[in-house]
Amino acid sequence: MHPPKLLTDLDQRIRNPADPVAWGRDMCRRAAYFARMGRAKAATKDIDEVKARFGHQLDTEVACWLLLAEGALHFFQERPSEAYDRFRTAYGMAVAFDLSLARPTCAAWMAHIEINENRFESMIRFLGEALCTADAEDHHTLGRASLVLATAYHFSGSFEKAQPWYECTRRHATTEGDRSMLSAMFHNIAAFRVSNLRLSDAFGEEISEAVTARASLEASSALTYDLTVRSDSYELLVPTIRGQLLTVEKRFYEAIVVFASIDETLLPSRLRPLVSIDRAWCSLSLGLEQEGRELALAAVQSIGSDLDADDLAFVLARVSAMEAILKMSLIPFSRDRSLELLAAHRHVQRELEMQLDQFTSKLHLGRPK
């Protein structure tokens, strides 16, 4: 397969740089691309080469892009606090030194970090800056900001409103030849679709075959694309989504096989209780009561402070359903707590959708009206 246009363009500019700063900037952008594709060694090599070339005389702009590259590397290696530190420092540097090329990109990455931490007002502020200050040819910044906005709408429960922003992401990524951005978009769509399905399933809501078929197609598309472009960024997320979907489809044995292929020690802490409780539900559904009970207890014990309200509601709803079958209590008031958390999550969704509607009403094709 031919190398992506983005990488080809960066390689050419790196070989024939306009000046040392341009060389450093493009090396850092290439490192960030490698990081987003899951190629940590290649990313680290480029980062180290920039540091060695500039030494103690590191240019301010190059330092900013270097922080962005390191932030991307930490982000895709599931080190969110280190990523946040790099992106925040890069943004502060871009503001302080008026780095007009880097600042919109810094703002887009800050928006990405903020949505992951559920800091929606801050996310919207950074989105506004990224979308309104990026050059029309800055496809990475506009694509990433569009992806964050699509993600936010999808999280709010409105795929219909997310779809135009996913399309905007696709357009910018395709124009620049950024395969990692397209991969992220496909995985976002699949992950949110399955997340909504498993939440409905845990609370006993009816799910049509058409909806599960669409989710299955989206998950397969994400996997196929990654295999085609050789992206390793989501190698743990792919089987997790697949196992969750099989569980919703009540294909319990197949789900157990998929979950068994996952090394849970490598999963982010926020995903461990979700995988454990689905494994527990599958085991119980196949008549393996003791195994199901043990896995359910393990899921409850692995719940941490980083678990979002909807995910915690899902875990407790599964626990409640298992308690009814096992005729025993695994955690006090699991059903009541799951319903309270679900109500809180729905409230957050409604509030976020209104905030996003107000924000997007001031935008037109990524620019203020």
Q: Is the dihedral of CA 38, 44, 47, 49 positive or negative?
A: negative
How many CB atoms sit inside 10 A of residue 96's CB? 10
pLDDT value of position 78: 84
Overall CATH class of domain 181-331: mainly alpha
Share above pLDDT 90 across residues of the chain, in percent, rounded to a whole number: 73
pLDDT interval class at 190 (50, 70, 90): confident
pLDDT value of position 1: 59
Q: What is the DSSP string of 265-330?
A: GGS-TTTHHHHHHHHHHHHHHTT-HHHHHHHHHHHHHT--TT--HHHHHHHHHHHHHHHHHHTS-S
- Determine if residue 251 is left, alpha or beta; phi over 0 gives left, psi from -120 to 50 gives alpha, anything else beta: beta
pLDDT value of position 348: 96
| E strands present in the chain | 363-364, 367-368
pTM, full prediction: 0.92
What is the rounded distance in angstroms from the CA atom of residue 290 to the CA atom of residue 258? 20
pLDDT value of position 350: 96
The pLDDT of residue 231 is above 60: no
- For the record, the structure tokens of 49 come out as 């080469």
Of residues 199 and 222, the one with the higher pLDDT is 199
What is the rounded distance in angstroms from the CA atom of residue 148 to the CA atom of residue 145? 5
- Highest mean pLDDT (candidates 12-21, 176-185, 188-197): 12-21
pLDDT value of position 368: 39
Q: Is the dihedral of CA 126, 174, 151, 81 positive or negative?
A: negative
- Mean pLDDT within 11-16: 95
What is the rounded distance in angstroms from the CA atom of residue 166 to the CA atom of residue 147? 6
pLDDT value of position 226: 57
Give tens-digit pLDDT for 141-161.
999 999 999 999 999 999 999
What is the rounded distance in angstroms from the CA atom of residue 311 to the CA atom of residue 333? 17
Give tens-digit pLDDT for 43-80.
999 999 999 999 988 999 999 999 999 999 999 888 88
Give long-range contacts, CB 8 A cutoff, 24+ apart: 89-97: 90/64, 90/65, 93/60, 93/63, 93/64, 93/67, 94/64, 97/60, 97/61, 97/64
- Mean pLDDT within 74-103: 95
pLDDT value of position 183: 87
Cβ atoms 104, 68 nearer than 8 A: no
- For the record, the structure tokens of 74 come out as 């930490």
What is the rounded distance in angstroms from the CA atom of residue 106 to the CA atom of residue 32? 13
Residue appearing with tokens 């909504």: 196
The pLDDT of residue 366 is above 60: no
End-to-end alpha-carbon separation of the chain, Å? 41
The pLDDT of residue 185 is above 60: yes
The per-residue pLDDT of the chain, averaged, comes to 91
Give tens-digit pLDDT for 259-315.
999 988 888 888 999 999 999 999 999 999 999 999 999 999 999 888 899 999 999
